[in-house]
């Protein structure tokens, strides 16, 4: 039965994605192979359990798909263990917390209002409701994390788990220093690399795998796969609590984490999505993907430089990765909400974002977050990024001028309609 209503909405969304400038730092355009693979017959299959140990019959092909996804992810990141079943990054984190922590245990994460993520201890999330969450943040003058202050906070709080990683932090992470801090207080260290995963996979940003006990990521941001999450470990290790099997053998962390995902956090895995994850991990292991991630960073740098030349303030003074956070209080008297709405009318999509030490609410905010993964997938390069920044600047200086914004919109759409939404590989 043809569902005209939904088909028309998908056509509208396709039109929106083709003709606009997509600058949401957590979004991307997956390849045609990934998109086509998501819609496959594994949607019909229940496969609770893990390859070779399922609770349902008929899983022999599903086993091969999941094993291939695991092998490809292990190869991509040089790790010994992967779990490819988490439905999302937040659920990957929830499974890790469930596996490692007791309710009320202290945890230490990066403050959401400074660029962290909801699932790292925010009071409105399970991670802040179930655990005793504490935070480190950035310095007001530099916008950068001071590692001595992280160490001080860890020694006060004595967390069971330290989380490094962010949704809106434009500098790289010192995973080795975080590990020193974790070891000093006996904490397990988790890196959530949901945002920079693509550039870590290609060696352009610091690698958490040798330093962090556990690493989680989404698969759809800079990794450019289907929506989903994964958990990895560089090396499996015995659980630090001395838990043993009935036979007295030590339980390895791979078992603890697998139990956290299923049956702890989830039921049946989304095998159709796991198949598409396998496709994306293979793509990410190609020279073309490495060139892509180099261009993501080059595009972000040129955007940050152009904004700075135009008088904008970028938190932490610039970017080392794929994103930047603009504090609009510095040069314009508009909120993130107003900026987001005005840019939306020009078909330039960003998100309003709190900046560190923001005086406005999360619904209003003083900033916008801008990222280059999606426009780079469409083939845009440095000179296009300068043009986009000039359009953004023009819109932000004319937020109440509808005809001016409509004129920019037609230029945006004329340009973007020339680029495919499917990255070339
Ligand atoms: N919502 C994602 C982001 O925009 O960064 C994080 O989950």
Instruction: Write out pLDDT tens, residues 1-54.
Output: 999 999 999 999 999 999 999 999 999 999 999 999 999 999 999 999 999 999
Nearest Cα residue to 66 out of 90, 47, 80, 43? 47
Tell me if residue 192 is catalytic: yes
Top pLDDT among 243 and 225 is at 225
Q: Is 218 a catalytic residue?
A: yes
Per annotation, catalytic residue among 111, 192, 283, 384:
192
On the question of pLDDT at 410 being above 90, the answer is yes
* 378 counts as catalytic: no
Tokens of 312: 């904008």
Mean per-residue pLDDT for 313-340? 97
- Gap between the Cα atoms of 294 and 287, Å rounded: 11
Contact 303, 388 (CB under 8 A): yes
246 alpha carbon – ligand 1 mean position (Å): 41
In the set 48, 80, 180, 305, the catalytic residue is: 48
Looking at the DSSP bridge assignments, the partners of residue 123 are none
Write down the pLDDT at residue 188.
Answer: 98
pLDDT range class, residue 166, cuts 50, 70, 90: very high
Q: Cα 314–317–321 angle (5° rounding)?
A: 85
Distance in Å, CA 196 to ligand 1 centroid: 12
User: Distance, CA 26 to ligand 1 centroid (Å)?
Assistant: 6
Per-residue pLDDT tens over the stretch 67-94: 999 999 999 999 999 999 999 999 999 9
Asked if 46 is an active-site residue, the reply is yes
Set 72, 153, 179, 221: catalytic member = 221
Catalytic site residue 50? no
E-assigned strands of 182-301?
Answer: 188-192, 214-218, 229-233
Q: Return the residue whose CA atom lies nearest to atom 1 of ligand 1.
A: 26
Grade residue 375 by pLDDT with cuts at 50, 70 and 90: very high
């Amino acid at each position: 039965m043809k569902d005209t209503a939904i088909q028309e909405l998908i056509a509208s969304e396709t039109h929106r994605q083709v003709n606009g400038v997509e600058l949401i730092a957590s979004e991307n355009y997956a390849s045609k192979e990934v998109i086509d693979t998501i819609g496959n017959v594994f949607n019909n299959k229940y496969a609770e359990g893990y390859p070779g140990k399922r609770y349902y019959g008929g899983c022999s092909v599903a086993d091969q798909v999941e094993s291939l996804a695991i092998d490809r992810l292990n190869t991509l990141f040089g790790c010994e263990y992967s779990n490819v079943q988490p439905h999302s990054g937040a659920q990957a984190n929830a499974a890790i917390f469930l596996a490692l922590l007791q309710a009320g245990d202290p945890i230490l994460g990066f403050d959401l209002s400074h660029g962290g993520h909801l699932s790292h201890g925010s009071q409105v999330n399970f991670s802040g409701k179930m655990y005793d969450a504490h935070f480190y943040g950035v310095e007001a003058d530099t916008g950068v994390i001071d590692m001595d202050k992280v160490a001080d906070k860890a020694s006060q709080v004595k967390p069971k788990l330290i989380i490094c990683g962010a949704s809106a932090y434009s500098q790289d992470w010192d995973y080795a220093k975080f590990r020193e801090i974790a070891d000093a207080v006996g904490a397990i260290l988790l890196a959530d690399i949901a945002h920079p995963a693509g550039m870590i996979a290609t060696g352009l940003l610091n690698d958490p795998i040798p330093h962090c006990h556990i690493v989680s990521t989404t698969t759809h941001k800079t990794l450019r796969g289907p929506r989903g999450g994964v958990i990895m470990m560089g090396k499996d290790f015995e659980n630090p609590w001395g838990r043993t099997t009935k036979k007295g053998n030590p339980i390895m962390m791979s078992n603890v984490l697998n139990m956290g995902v299923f049956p702890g956090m989830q039921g049946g895995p989304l095998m159709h999505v796991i198949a598409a994850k396998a496709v994306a991990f293979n793509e990410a292991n190609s020279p073309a993907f490495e060139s892509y991630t180099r261009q993501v960073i080059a595009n972000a740098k040129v955007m940050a430089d152009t904004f700075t030349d135009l008088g904008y303030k970028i938190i932490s003074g610039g970017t080392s990765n794929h994103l930047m956070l603009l504090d609009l209080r510095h040069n314009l008297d508009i909120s993130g909400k107003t900026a987001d709405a005005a840019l939306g009318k020009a078909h330039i999509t960003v998100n309003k974002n709190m900046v560190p030490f923001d005086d406005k609410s999360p619904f209003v905010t003083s900033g916008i977050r801008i990222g280059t993964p999606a426009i780079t997938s469409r083939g845009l390069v440095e000179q296009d990024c300068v043009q986009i920044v000039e359009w953004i600047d023009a819109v932000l200086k004319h937020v109440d001028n509808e005809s001016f914004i409509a004129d920019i919109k037609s230029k945006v759409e004329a340009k973007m309609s020339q680029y495919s939404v499917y990255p070339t590989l």
